[in-house]
Amino acid sequence: MASWLALPTWQPCQAVMDLPQGDADACHGFDGNSDLYGIGIRIGVYLSWYTSLTANLWANTFVDELSDTNTLFILSNVVAVTFGASPSETKFDGRTVRIYKHLYFRFLGGFSVAGFALRLCLVLAAAAFSTWFFFHGADVLRKDMCGYKIFLFGAHPLFGPVRRFLKVYSVLVCVLLGIIYMPAFMYLFIYVMVPVTGMIAMAICCAILCGKEDQLSCGKVCAAAILGGGIVTNLAMAELSLDAESLRAPSGKRLQRCLDMDGYLSTLLLNGVAFILRNHRRIMGLVGLVMSTWTIVVIEMTIKVNDIRGVNELAQTSQLIPFVLGCALFLGTVRRAILQRVILVCRRLPTLRERTIKTNWAGRTEPTTKSLAYGPYHLPAVLFEVAMAPKVKGSS
Protein backbone atom coordinates (compact mmCIF):
# COMPACT_ATOMS: atom_id res chain seq x y z
CA MET A 1 0.00 0.00 0.00
CA ALA A 2 2.81 2.35 0.81
CA SER A 3 4.17 2.14 -2.72
CA TRP A 4 1.13 3.61 -4.44
CA LEU A 5 0.08 5.89 -1.59
CA ALA A 6 3.51 7.42 -1.06
CA LEU A 7 3.04 11.09 -0.27
CA PRO A 8 5.04 13.70 -2.23
CA THR A 9 8.39 14.66 -0.76
CA TRP A 10 8.66 18.14 -2.26
CA GLN A 11 11.58 20.10 -0.89
CA PRO A 12 10.69 23.14 1.26
CA CYS A 13 13.06 26.01 1.80
CA GLN A 14 16.37 25.16 3.46
CA ALA A 15 15.56 27.39 6.45
CA VAL A 16 12.49 25.31 7.22
CA MET A 17 14.37 22.03 6.74
CA ASP A 18 17.03 23.14 9.23
CA LEU A 19 14.48 23.87 11.96
CA PRO A 20 14.25 21.38 14.82
CA GLN A 21 11.15 19.21 14.58
CA GLY A 22 9.62 20.51 17.81
CA ASP A 23 10.07 24.24 17.08
CA ALA A 24 6.53 25.15 16.03
CA ASP A 25 6.87 28.83 16.94
CA ALA A 26 9.63 29.33 14.38
CA CYS A 27 7.31 28.31 11.56
CA HIS A 28 4.81 31.10 12.25
CA GLY A 29 1.98 29.07 10.71
CA PHE A 30 1.27 28.67 7.02
CA ASP A 31 -1.35 29.47 4.38
CA GLY A 32 -3.88 26.66 4.19
CA ASN A 33 -5.73 25.38 1.15
CA SER A 34 -9.22 26.83 1.37
CA ASP A 35 -10.39 24.65 -1.54
CA LEU A 36 -9.90 21.61 0.69
CA TYR A 37 -10.88 22.73 4.18
CA GLY A 38 -12.12 26.31 3.98
CA ILE A 39 -14.72 27.57 6.43
CA GLY A 40 -17.64 27.07 4.02
CA ILE A 41 -16.63 23.49 3.26
CA ARG A 42 -16.07 22.72 6.93
CA ILE A 43 -19.44 24.12 8.01
CA GLY A 44 -21.16 22.26 5.18
CA VAL A 45 -19.63 18.97 6.29
CA TYR A 46 -20.37 19.67 9.96
CA LEU A 47 -24.01 20.30 9.11
CA SER A 48 -24.12 17.09 7.09
CA TRP A 49 -23.14 15.16 10.22
CA TYR A 50 -25.93 16.73 12.25
CA THR A 51 -28.27 16.21 9.31
CA SER A 52 -27.42 12.51 9.46
CA LEU A 53 -28.16 12.36 13.18
CA THR A 54 -31.46 14.17 12.72
CA ALA A 55 -32.51 11.89 9.87
CA ASN A 56 -31.65 8.71 11.77
CA LEU A 57 -33.46 9.76 14.93
CA TRP A 58 -36.52 11.65 13.72
CA ALA A 59 -36.81 11.40 9.91
CA ASN A 60 -35.99 7.80 9.09
CA THR A 61 -37.99 7.90 5.86
CA PHE A 62 -35.40 10.37 4.53
CA VAL A 63 -32.34 8.25 5.40
CA ASP A 64 -32.04 6.27 2.16
CA GLU A 65 -32.26 9.33 -0.06
CA LEU A 66 -29.86 11.29 2.12
CA SER A 67 -27.35 8.45 2.48
CA ASP A 68 -27.08 7.91 -1.27
CA THR A 69 -26.45 11.63 -1.79
CA ASN A 70 -23.91 11.63 1.02
CA THR A 71 -22.12 8.66 -0.53
CA LEU A 72 -21.42 10.53 -3.76
CA PHE A 73 -20.09 13.50 -1.80
CA ILE A 74 -17.79 11.35 0.32
CA LEU A 75 -16.61 9.35 -2.69
CA SER A 76 -15.46 12.49 -4.48
CA ASN A 77 -13.51 13.61 -1.42
CA VAL A 78 -11.93 10.21 -0.80
CA VAL A 79 -10.75 10.20 -4.42
CA ALA A 80 -9.39 13.73 -3.99
CA VAL A 81 -7.43 12.94 -0.84
CA THR A 82 -6.12 9.69 -2.37
CA PHE A 83 -4.77 11.54 -5.40
CA GLY A 84 -3.46 14.24 -3.09
CA ALA A 85 -1.54 11.62 -1.12
CA SER A 86 0.06 10.13 -4.24
CA PRO A 87 3.20 11.40 -6.00
CA SER A 88 2.26 14.46 -8.03
CA GLU A 89 3.11 18.11 -8.41
CA THR A 90 0.44 19.08 -5.86
CA LYS A 91 2.11 20.24 -2.68
CA PHE A 92 0.10 18.51 -0.01
CA ASP A 93 1.66 18.51 3.43
CA GLY A 94 0.91 16.49 6.53
CA ARG A 95 -1.38 19.11 8.01
CA THR A 96 -3.55 19.13 4.90
CA VAL A 97 -3.88 15.35 4.77
CA ARG A 98 -4.50 15.13 8.51
CA ILE A 99 -7.30 17.71 8.54
CA TYR A 100 -8.71 16.34 5.31
CA LYS A 101 -8.83 12.83 6.77
CA HIS A 102 -10.60 14.09 9.86
CA LEU A 103 -12.99 16.17 7.80
CA TYR A 104 -14.34 13.79 5.19
CA PHE A 105 -13.98 10.26 6.49
CA ARG A 106 -17.32 10.38 8.31
CA PHE A 107 -20.35 8.36 7.27
CA LEU A 108 -24.10 8.53 7.52
CA GLY A 109 -25.81 5.94 9.69
CA GLY A 110 -28.46 3.91 7.92
CA PHE A 111 -27.43 2.02 4.79
CA SER A 112 -29.79 1.61 1.87
CA VAL A 113 -29.27 -1.27 -0.56
CA ALA A 114 -28.37 1.18 -3.34
CA GLY A 115 -24.80 2.20 -2.63
CA PHE A 116 -24.39 -0.22 0.28
CA ALA A 117 -21.29 -1.86 -1.19
CA LEU A 118 -19.76 1.51 -2.00
CA ARG A 119 -20.24 2.86 1.52
CA LEU A 120 -18.85 -0.33 3.01
CA CYS A 121 -15.72 -0.05 0.87
CA LEU A 122 -15.35 3.65 1.68
CA VAL A 123 -15.41 3.20 5.44
CA LEU A 124 -12.87 0.38 5.26
CA ALA A 125 -10.68 2.43 2.91
CA ALA A 126 -10.80 5.35 5.35
CA ALA A 127 -9.69 3.11 8.22
CA ALA A 128 -6.87 1.68 6.12
CA PHE A 129 -5.75 5.17 5.07
CA SER A 130 -5.66 6.30 8.70
CA THR A 131 -3.53 3.30 9.66
CA TRP A 132 -1.13 3.92 6.77
CA PHE A 133 -0.83 7.60 7.65
CA PHE A 134 0.25 7.06 11.26
CA PHE A 135 2.57 4.14 10.48
CA HIS A 136 4.27 5.42 7.30
CA GLY A 137 2.78 8.57 5.83
CA ALA A 138 3.85 10.85 8.67
CA ASP A 139 7.48 9.70 8.28
CA VAL A 140 7.43 10.50 4.58
CA LEU A 141 6.27 14.03 5.39
CA ARG A 142 8.49 14.56 8.41
CA LYS A 143 10.68 17.23 6.82
CA ASP A 144 7.59 19.13 5.74
CA MET A 145 5.86 19.10 9.11
CA CYS A 146 7.73 21.99 10.75
CA GLY A 147 6.64 21.16 14.28
CA TYR A 148 3.13 20.10 13.34
CA LYS A 149 0.85 19.59 16.32
CA ILE A 150 -2.33 17.63 16.71
CA PHE A 151 -5.06 18.50 19.18
CA LEU A 152 -6.07 15.58 21.35
CA PHE A 153 -7.18 16.80 24.78
CA GLY A 154 -4.48 19.40 24.25
CA ALA A 155 -1.86 20.32 21.64
CA HIS A 156 0.73 17.56 21.19
CA PRO A 157 3.58 17.11 18.66
CA LEU A 158 2.70 14.48 16.10
CA PHE A 159 6.09 12.77 16.47
CA GLY A 160 5.66 11.91 20.12
CA PRO A 161 3.69 9.61 22.42
CA VAL A 162 0.41 10.68 20.82
CA ARG A 163 1.48 9.03 17.57
CA ARG A 164 1.92 5.68 19.30
CA PHE A 165 -1.56 6.04 20.75
CA LEU A 166 -3.00 6.85 17.32
CA LYS A 167 -1.23 3.82 15.80
CA VAL A 168 -2.85 1.50 18.32
CA TYR A 169 -6.19 3.26 17.89
CA SER A 170 -6.10 2.94 14.08
CA VAL A 171 -5.29 -0.77 14.23
CA LEU A 172 -8.08 -1.39 16.75
CA VAL A 173 -10.55 0.47 14.52
CA CYS A 174 -9.57 -1.68 11.51
CA VAL A 175 -9.93 -4.90 13.53
CA LEU A 176 -13.25 -3.75 15.00
CA LEU A 177 -14.62 -2.81 11.59
CA GLY A 178 -13.53 -6.16 10.18
CA ILE A 179 -15.37 -8.03 12.94
CA ILE A 180 -18.50 -5.88 12.91
CA TYR A 181 -18.84 -5.79 9.13
CA MET A 182 -18.52 -9.55 8.71
CA PRO A 183 -22.34 -10.03 8.73
CA ALA A 184 -22.60 -7.12 6.32
CA PHE A 185 -20.15 -8.83 3.96
CA MET A 186 -22.27 -11.97 4.08
CA TYR A 187 -25.40 -9.95 3.34
CA LEU A 188 -23.57 -8.20 0.50
CA PHE A 189 -22.41 -11.52 -0.93
CA ILE A 190 -25.94 -12.94 -0.93
CA TYR A 191 -27.58 -9.82 -2.33
CA VAL A 192 -24.99 -8.99 -5.01
CA MET A 193 -23.15 -12.17 -5.93
CA VAL A 194 -26.22 -14.36 -6.34
CA PRO A 195 -27.79 -12.11 -9.03
CA VAL A 196 -24.41 -11.59 -10.72
CA THR A 197 -23.73 -15.33 -10.77
CA GLY A 198 -27.17 -15.99 -12.20
CA MET A 199 -26.70 -13.42 -14.97
CA ILE A 200 -23.26 -14.78 -15.90
CA ALA A 201 -24.61 -18.32 -16.03
CA MET A 202 -27.49 -17.25 -18.29
CA ALA A 203 -25.10 -15.38 -20.58
CA ILE A 204 -22.81 -18.43 -20.86
CA CYS A 205 -25.77 -20.66 -21.70
CA CYS A 206 -26.91 -18.24 -24.39
CA ALA A 207 -23.40 -18.08 -25.86
CA ILE A 208 -23.21 -21.88 -26.01
CA LEU A 209 -26.62 -22.13 -27.67
CA CYS A 210 -25.86 -19.40 -30.19
CA GLY A 211 -22.51 -20.80 -31.22
CA LYS A 212 -20.20 -18.82 -33.49
CA GLU A 213 -22.48 -18.53 -36.51
CA ASP A 214 -24.19 -15.22 -35.75
CA GLN A 215 -22.20 -13.21 -33.23
CA LEU A 216 -24.41 -10.10 -33.50
CA SER A 217 -27.59 -12.00 -32.71
CA CYS A 218 -25.77 -13.87 -29.99
CA GLY A 219 -24.72 -10.58 -28.40
CA LYS A 220 -28.30 -9.33 -28.44
CA VAL A 221 -29.60 -12.55 -26.92
CA CYS A 222 -26.93 -12.47 -24.21
CA ALA A 223 -27.74 -8.85 -23.38
CA ALA A 224 -31.44 -9.68 -23.13
CA ALA A 225 -30.64 -12.71 -20.98
CA ILE A 226 -28.49 -10.65 -18.64
CA LEU A 227 -31.19 -8.00 -18.31
CA GLY A 228 -33.93 -10.56 -17.78
CA GLY A 229 -31.82 -12.54 -15.35
CA GLY A 230 -31.10 -9.41 -13.35
CA ILE A 231 -34.78 -8.56 -13.11
CA VAL A 232 -35.78 -12.11 -12.15
CA THR A 233 -33.05 -12.55 -9.53
CA ASN A 234 -33.72 -9.15 -7.97
CA LEU A 235 -37.43 -9.93 -7.78
CA ALA A 236 -36.55 -13.25 -6.16
CA MET A 237 -34.34 -11.49 -3.61
CA ALA A 238 -37.12 -9.00 -2.92
CA GLU A 239 -39.54 -11.89 -2.37
CA LEU A 240 -37.10 -13.50 0.05
CA SER A 241 -36.84 -10.19 1.89
CA LEU A 242 -40.63 -9.99 2.18
CA ASP A 243 -40.78 -13.57 3.44
CA ALA A 244 -38.15 -12.79 6.06
CA GLU A 245 -40.05 -9.72 7.20
CA SER A 246 -43.29 -11.70 7.49
CA LEU A 247 -41.79 -14.22 9.92
CA ARG A 248 -42.98 -14.13 13.48
CA ALA A 249 -41.08 -14.69 16.68
CA PRO A 250 -42.25 -17.37 19.17
CA SER A 251 -43.90 -14.60 21.17
CA GLY A 252 -46.07 -13.77 18.15
CA LYS A 253 -44.28 -10.53 17.29
CA ARG A 254 -43.37 -9.96 13.68
CA LEU A 255 -39.68 -9.94 12.89
CA GLN A 256 -38.42 -7.11 10.74
CA ARG A 257 -34.94 -7.36 9.31
CA CYS A 258 -33.36 -3.94 9.65
CA LEU A 259 -29.73 -3.48 8.62
CA ASP A 260 -28.90 -0.55 10.84
CA MET A 261 -25.43 1.00 10.38
CA ASP A 262 -25.11 3.74 13.00
CA GLY A 263 -21.54 4.89 12.41
CA TYR A 264 -19.72 1.62 13.11
CA LEU A 265 -22.43 -0.68 14.48
CA SER A 266 -24.57 -3.22 12.65
CA THR A 267 -27.41 -4.87 14.54
CA LEU A 268 -30.57 -6.85 13.87
CA LEU A 269 -33.55 -5.37 15.67
CA LEU A 270 -36.96 -6.79 16.59
CA ASN A 271 -39.77 -4.62 15.36
CA GLY A 272 -41.94 -5.52 18.34
CA VAL A 273 -39.45 -4.61 21.06
CA ALA A 274 -40.15 -0.90 21.22
CA PHE A 275 -38.17 -0.37 24.42
CA ILE A 276 -34.95 -1.79 22.97
CA LEU A 277 -35.41 0.10 19.71
CA ARG A 278 -36.14 3.37 21.48
CA ASN A 279 -33.08 3.11 23.72
CA HIS A 280 -30.89 1.97 20.84
CA ARG A 281 -31.82 5.08 18.89
CA ARG A 282 -31.24 7.32 21.86
CA ILE A 283 -27.89 5.80 22.79
CA MET A 284 -26.56 5.79 19.22
CA GLY A 285 -27.85 9.32 18.70
CA LEU A 286 -26.01 10.47 21.81
CA VAL A 287 -22.84 8.65 20.73
CA GLY A 288 -23.05 10.21 17.27
CA LEU A 289 -23.61 13.66 18.73
CA VAL A 290 -20.58 13.35 21.03
CA MET A 291 -18.35 11.95 18.27
CA SER A 292 -19.35 14.61 15.75
CA THR A 293 -18.96 17.46 18.23
CA TRP A 294 -15.59 16.20 19.43
CA THR A 295 -14.35 15.81 15.83
CA ILE A 296 -15.36 19.41 15.13
CA VAL A 297 -13.39 20.53 18.20
CA VAL A 298 -10.34 18.53 17.06
CA ILE A 299 -10.44 20.01 13.55
CA GLU A 300 -10.91 23.60 14.64
CA MET A 301 -8.30 23.42 17.40
CA THR A 302 -5.81 21.72 15.06
CA ILE A 303 -6.21 24.63 12.66
CA LYS A 304 -5.77 27.09 15.50
CA VAL A 305 -2.72 25.58 17.22
CA ASN A 306 -0.91 25.32 13.87
CA ASP A 307 -1.83 28.91 12.93
CA ILE A 308 -3.28 27.94 9.55
CA ARG A 309 -4.26 31.08 7.70
CA GLY A 310 -6.60 31.80 4.78
CA VAL A 311 -9.18 29.11 5.57
CA ASN A 312 -11.76 31.21 7.46
CA GLU A 313 -13.06 33.44 4.66
CA LEU A 314 -16.64 32.67 3.67
CA ALA A 315 -17.08 35.30 0.94
CA GLN A 316 -15.87 33.00 -1.85
CA THR A 317 -17.80 30.98 -4.40
CA SER A 318 -15.98 27.77 -3.47
CA GLN A 319 -17.04 28.30 0.17
CA LEU A 320 -20.58 29.61 -0.30
CA ILE A 321 -21.79 26.68 -2.41
CA PRO A 322 -21.09 23.89 0.15
CA PHE A 323 -22.17 26.21 2.96
CA VAL A 324 -25.57 26.87 1.36
CA LEU A 325 -26.03 23.19 0.44
CA GLY A 326 -25.23 22.10 3.98
CA CYS A 327 -27.67 24.61 5.46
CA ALA A 328 -30.41 23.62 2.99
CA LEU A 329 -30.02 19.89 3.70
CA PHE A 330 -30.01 20.44 7.45
CA LEU A 331 -33.07 22.71 7.46
CA GLY A 332 -34.91 20.40 5.05
CA THR A 333 -34.21 17.40 7.27
CA VAL A 334 -35.36 19.27 10.38
CA ARG A 335 -38.57 20.20 8.54
CA ARG A 336 -39.18 16.58 7.54
CA ALA A 337 -38.50 15.41 11.08
CA ILE A 338 -41.05 17.85 12.50
CA LEU A 339 -43.68 16.89 9.92
CA GLN A 340 -43.08 13.19 10.51
CA ARG A 341 -43.56 13.59 14.25
CA VAL A 342 -46.71 15.65 13.73
CA ILE A 343 -48.15 13.01 11.40
CA LEU A 344 -47.44 10.26 13.93
CA VAL A 345 -49.13 12.28 16.68
CA CYS A 346 -52.13 13.00 14.45
CA ARG A 347 -52.51 9.31 13.66
CA ARG A 348 -52.49 8.39 17.34
CA LEU A 349 -54.84 11.18 18.36
CA PRO A 350 -58.11 9.71 16.99
CA THR A 351 -57.33 6.45 18.80
CA LEU A 352 -56.93 8.31 22.06
CA ARG A 353 -60.12 10.24 21.50
CA GLU A 354 -62.11 7.12 20.62
CA ARG A 355 -61.14 5.65 23.96
CA THR A 356 -62.55 8.62 25.81
CA ILE A 357 -66.16 8.54 26.96
CA LYS A 358 -68.73 11.15 27.66
CA THR A 359 -72.22 11.28 29.14
CA ASN A 360 -74.99 12.28 26.74
CA TRP A 361 -78.28 14.06 27.58
CA ALA A 362 -79.95 10.77 28.60
CA GLY A 363 -77.25 9.91 31.12
CA ARG A 364 -75.71 7.18 28.97
CA THR A 365 -71.97 6.92 28.30
CA GLU A 366 -70.80 6.71 24.69
CA PRO A 367 -67.53 7.20 22.81
CA THR A 368 -66.85 10.65 21.49
CA THR A 369 -67.32 11.15 17.77
CA LYS A 370 -65.71 14.54 17.37
CA SER A 371 -64.06 14.93 13.99
CA LEU A 372 -60.32 15.60 14.14
CA ALA A 373 -58.92 17.51 11.18
CA TYR A 374 -55.52 18.58 12.41
CA GLY A 375 -52.76 19.45 9.96
CA PRO A 376 -49.01 20.00 10.27
CA TYR A 377 -49.54 23.63 11.28
CA HIS A 378 -51.72 22.68 14.26
CA LEU A 379 -48.81 21.24 16.24
CA PRO A 380 -49.53 23.16 19.49
CA ALA A 381 -53.19 22.13 19.44
CA VAL A 382 -52.28 18.50 18.68
CA LEU A 383 -49.78 18.30 21.51
CA PHE A 384 -52.27 19.91 23.88
CA GLU A 385 -54.99 17.41 22.91
CA VAL A 386 -52.61 14.46 23.40
CA ALA A 387 -51.52 15.73 26.80
CA MET A 388 -55.05 16.50 28.03
CA ALA A 389 -57.03 13.63 26.51
CA PRO A 390 -58.29 11.31 29.31
CA LYS A 391 -57.79 7.60 28.90
CA VAL A 392 -60.07 4.72 29.81
CA LYS A 393 -58.82 2.56 32.63
CA GLY A 394 -56.67 -0.26 31.32
CA SER A 395 -55.85 1.44 28.01
CA SER A 396 -52.24 1.57 26.93
Strand-pair partners of 359:
365
Q: Helix 63-84 to helix 94-104 angle, to the nearest 10 degrees?
A: 170
| 208 within some domain | no
Residue pLDDT, tens place only, 153-174: 777 777 777 778 888 888 887 7
Contacts of 160 (CB under 8 A, 6+ apart): none
370 vs 32, residue with greater confidence: 32
Q: Which helix (H) or strand (E) holds 151?
A: strand 149-151
Alpha-carbon Rg for the chain in angstroms: 28
Assessment of whether the complete model's pTM goes beyond 0.75: no
Domain ranges, residue 303: 29-183+296-342
pLDDT band for position 396 (cuts 50, 70, 90): very low
Domain membership of residue 390 (yes or no) is no
Highest mean pLDDT among 34-43, 125-134, 362-371: 34-43
Long-range contacts of 116-121 (CB under 8 A, 24+ apart): 116/184, 116/188, 116/191, 116/259, 117/188, 117/192, 118/71, 118/75, 119/67, 119/71, 119/74, 119/261, 120/181, 120/184, 120/185, 120/188
Structure confidence at residue 189 (pLDDT): 65
| C-alpha triplet 308, 171, 190: angle, nearest 5° | 115
195 vs 203: CA distance, rounded Å: 12
pLDDT computed for residue 196 by the predictor: 61
pLDDT of residue 107: 42
The reply to whether 89 falls in a domain is: yes
Instruction: Write out pLDDT tens, residues 367-384.
Output: 544 444 444 445 555 555
Residue 334 reports pLDDT greater than 80: yes
Q: Of residues 357 and 109, which shows the higher confidence score?
A: 357
**Assigned domain for 48 exists:** yes
Indicate whether 76 belongs to any domain.
yes
* Residue 126 in domain: yes
Q: Give the model's pLDDT for residue 245.
A: 40
What pLDDT is recorded for position 106? 45
Number of domains in the chain: 1
What single letter denotes the amino acid at residue 20?
P
What is the rounded average pLDDT for all residues in the chain? 61
Q: Let me know if residue 8 belongs to a domain.
A: no
Task: Look at residue 216 and tell me whether its pLDDT is greater than 60.
Answer: no
Q: 10 Å Cβ neighbour count for 59? A: 21
Look at residue 7 and tell me if it is in a domain. no
List Cβ<8 Å contacts ≥24 apart for 380-387.
Answer: 382/342, 382/345, 382/346, 382/349, 383/345, 385/349, 385/352, 385/353, 386/345, 386/348, 386/349, 386/352
The DSSP code sequence of 340-357 is HHHHHHHHHHHHHHHT-E
User: Could you tell me what percent of the chain has a pLDDT over 70?
Assistant: 35
